[in-house]
Amino acid sequence: MAEFLFRRVFYSCIALLGLVVAVFLLARLTGDPSVLYLPDTATAVMREQFREAHGYNDPIVVQLGRYVWNALHLDFGMSLRQNVPAMDAVLQAFPWTLRLAGVTVLLAMIVAMTIGPLAAYRPGSIFDRIASVLSLAAASTPDFWLAILGILVFAVHLGVLPTSGTGGFAYWILPIGVLMFKITGTTTQVVRGSMISSLASPYVKAARAKGMPENRIIFLHALRNSVISAVTVAGDQTRGLINGAVIVESVFGWPGVGKLMIDAITQRDFAVVQAAVLVTAACIFLLNIILDLIYAALDPRIDLH
């Protein structure tokens, strides 16, 4: 176990370093930041002073070396737009994304792990057909369309939910509902298919032949194997949400890392972009390690050595 963790952390650090260098170089290809930050009336001298003050006149290798050294100390410089340390801006936004992603995936898993096994227990039944149609529709619905529809119905026409921002419980309903819709549909389909395969497997038939109670067969044997597939889907969805539920955060004005990154990219706020990418990538690498540990706990056939 310790060897596995050390190996994964080591490779993750190498990947993070490569990602940091790639983002640094790509960010510099977007153009001269003085064109964006200074007014159109700024003179050439003013632009030159701006570039000199922020180190943009140094050779790219010097800028990269300075950036990597500072990144090792979690210092990404100042946000040119917000005039605060870039890491502070990211750490202020990141918890909002984590809370949104955590609650969404948790609720989606609860719903999917309830509907999926019930639909799989009697394939072809009315409940199974309704669940399959609804889950397929949910998995195919675009987030942006559902977000706009939710605002139109619940905020504009009914006036029962706020359109954007953060606050009490009401502000969470639409963002979580929109994100949860597709995740629940996808996970339900995966759990249903996995449960059908598990219930038709030889070990389930052998358990039934021995007279084992049906509820024990479903929850102790078949459902446990289906959970692995559900965890895989939930992990992929969580990675996507942590990487930034960009559309939903932008539509609902959610102050998460997705919206922060979009704003920083459009404003060429290099420091915030680089800090956000590094924090997001580190969180995703950590999530991958946690998922591997969960797989090993659920399936004893998985060897982490």
Which residues lie below 8 Å from residue 251, measured CB to CB, with a gap of 6+? Answer: 144, 147, 148, 151, 164
pLDDT digit string, tens, across residues 19-38: 888 877 876 776 677 776 67
| Residue whose token pair is 């639409």 | 174
- The whole-angstrom separation of Cα 26 and Cα 60 is 12
Question: For residue 274, what pLDDT is reported?
Answer: 81
Region 63-77 average pLDDT:
83
Question: For residue 140, what pLDDT is reported?
Answer: 87
| Residue whose token pair is 């070990």 | 203
Average pLDDT, the chain: 82
Number of H helices, E strands in the chain: 14, 0
Fold topology of 93-298: MetI-like fold (1.10.3720)
pLDDT digit string, tens, across residues 263-276: 887 777 778 888 88
Lowest-confidence range among 99-108, 111-120, 238-247? Answer: 238-247
Q: Which residue has the higher pLDDT, 152 or 269?
A: 152
Domain boundary assignment for the chain: 2-72, 93-298
Please determine, for residue 244, whether its predicted confidence score (pLDDT) is greater than 60.
Answer: no
- The whole-angstrom separation of Cα 31 and Cα 234 is 38
Region 280-285 average pLDDT:
85
Region 197-210 average pLDDT:
77
